[in-house]
Every structure is written in structure tokens, then in C-alpha cells.
Amino acid sequence: MEIVGELINASRKKIRDDIREKNREVIASVAKEQHEHGASFIDVNAGIFVGKEADYLTWLVSTVQDALDAPCCIDSPDPKAVEAAMKVHKGTPMLNSISLEKDRYEAMLPLIRGTDVKIIALCMSDEGMPYTKKDRLKIADNLINGLIKNNIKMENIYVDPLVHPIGSGNHLGKEFLDSIRSLHEQYEGIHTICGLSNISYGIPKRKFANQLFMAMAITCGLNAAILNPLDKRMMANIIAAETLIGKDDYCMNYVQAYRDGLFDLNQ
Ligand code: THG
């Protein structure tokens, strides 16, 4: 599982002021902490700073990469902000995200054509958000074909089928999980990704629900996630679930995690 650390996001009350005041020490330490806990990409999102998003996003990318040697996941729907952030980024970033919305699609494509950037393909179109597997796969198919035609490798495409709160419809969890399964059946080498905490919006014990849903998504083939890597039980679940579904030869990762104390959760 490839982990994208979600904590440097200006929509979070805890970090909003640190971003606004450009507090380098706090951003550097949150980036490092996430990396040490298993995040291979650090998500940076300054979406709430309307009109100044490009300025904040470039500052976040430089600050994170001055603090550690890891790529960012540039989280913005605004092609201008993404372009500016990609210019200051060292190495190969992840782009979060392209979608089938016409304006966004056409403006993002020139930024990534023929590059080795990892691209989140968000299942969203000008007709809105999909809720069924059928609607998700239709959008995903268009996105995947378009990206492949533009010389993007299949393994650099990370399809995000979009998680909806289970509280708004019984079928929404299963439609999402079935989408993950079908994407892996239909497109060999594809990655799937999501920010899964949306599933528990509006219900109690959100962490508990998120942790369980993660194990279910891993069973369906999910192989990347945007989440809080400081959630120890979540990270332990991911290791165990991947072992149990057969992605851990000789249970080596499982045993190593046990030895490292990652399964000691009585905190
Ligand atoms: N897909 C893609 N990108 C995404 C998302 C997605 N980027 C943003 C988001 N969803 C994932 N990132 C976060 C970051 C922080 C939080 C949740 C998702 C978070 N939420 C707290 C909560 O839900 O309780 C509240 C915020 C707070 O701390 O005040 O922390 O789905 N491609």
C-alpha cells in the first residue's frame, strides 16, 4: 500500500493558521512525522486561500522538500496553482488531481503529458459525482484512455472512485468497493486510491469505521490511500490485511511489523 499523508491540508483547523503564517518549523515537523510513520508522499493542500493558493502551495512544496527527501502529492483543482507547485517541486510528484470536468481536464493535461508524474484520476465529470459502479467505471474508462493516449503509463494512473458517506445510502459502500475490484480486473497495472474517511461522515466512532472499511477495500485490491499515517491501528490493519490477502511473501512484512512493535496497540 502506498500511503499519502493527509495532514498538511489547510481545511484542517489544527494547521490552517500555521500555513497562513508560513510557520516553517510546524510544517517541516508534520511532514517528517508522517514520512517516519510510512507516508511515501506528503499531500499539500492550500485550497482555502482563494486567490493566493499558488503562493501558499509553492511555499508548502518547498518547505516540505527542504525538510525531507520525499515527493509531494499536489492537491488542488486549480491548474495554475498546480503548475506553479510543479515548477518548484524536486523529483517526481503526485498530482491530485485530474478529472473529466472539461476545463480542468484540458488545463491539467499539458502539465503532465509524457511525464512520469503519478496522476490521481478523480471520477468526477461535468455531470457531477458518480454514485454507482457503472457511472464510476464510465468516467474512469474515459480518463484512463485519455491519459494513456497522452503517453502516461498505466502504473502512473491512480483512479479515485470517490467515497461517499455510508449514512447517505446503504449501497454506497458496496458500490465503491465493487468499483475498486472491477478497476483492477479491467485495467492491468492500474493503481486505485481514495481518501476513505468520507465513508464515516456523520456516524459515531469514525476511526473504527474507517479502519474496517480500509481492510474491506484492501480485499478488493485498493493499493494506495490518502490518510493520517499517525493512526497506529489503521497502519497496523493495513499491514495485516495485505498479508492476509496474499500480498506479503512468507509473511515477512507482518513479522517485521510485529518485531518493530507496530502491533502493540494498547496505547
Ligand atoms: N480524494 C482525493 N484527494 C483528497 C480527498 C479524496 N484530498 C482531500 C481529502 N479527500 C483527503 N484529505 C483529508 C485531510 C484531512 C482530513 C480528512 C481528509 C481531516 N478531517 C477531519 C475529520 O474528517 O474529522 C476534520 C478536519 C480537522 O481536523 O479539523 O483531518 O477523497 N483524491
User: What angle in degrees, to the nearest 10, is found between the helix axes of 206-219 and 232-244?
Assistant: 20
Which atom in ligand 1 lies closest to the alpha carbon of residue 96? 32
Query: What pLDDT, on a 0 to 100 scale, did the predictor assign at position 267?
Result: 58
Domains of the chain, residue spans = 1-76, 92-230
pLDDT at res. 23: 98
3-state secondary structure of 39: coil
Q: Ligand 1 centroid vs 249 CA: distance in angstroms?
A: 32
> Which atom number of ligand 1 is nearest to the Cα of residue 162?
31
Nearest to 123 by CA among 93, 164, 94, 85: 164
- C-alpha closest to that of 240 among 231, 253, 259, 225: 253
At 223 the pLDDT is: 97
Cα angle 143, 216, 234 (rounded to 5 degrees) comes to: 100
Residues 191 and 154 sit within 8 Å (Cβ to Cβ):
no
Contact 236, 250 (CB under 8 A): no
* Ligand 1 pocket at CB < 6 A: 6, 9, 12-14, 75, 96-97, 120, 122, 160, 194-195, 197-198, 226
**Omega before residue 97 within 30° of 0, cis:** yes
CA-to-CA separations, 175 to 95, 122, 129, 165, in angstroms, rounded: 25, 16, 13, 12
What is the residue-level pLDDT of the chain in tens, covering all 267 positions?
999 999 999 999 999 999 999 999 999 999 999 999 999 999 999 999 999 999 999 999 999 999 999 999 999 999 999 999 999 999 999 999 999 999 999 999 999 998 999 999 999 999 999 999 999 999 999 999 999 999 999 999 999 999 999 999 999 999 999 999 999 999 999 999 999 999 999 999 999 999 999 999 999 999 999 999 999 999 999 999 999 999 999 999 999 999 999 999 985
At residue 266, the pLDDT reads: 81
| Nearest-CA residue for atom 29 of ligand 1 | 12
Q: Beta 157-160 vs 191-192: how paired, if at all?
A: parallel
Q: How many angstroms does the Cα of residue 25 sit away from the middle of ligand 1?
A: 22
Range 92-230: architecture per CATH? Alpha-Beta Barrel (3.20)
Ligand 1 geometric centre to CA of 14 (Å): 13
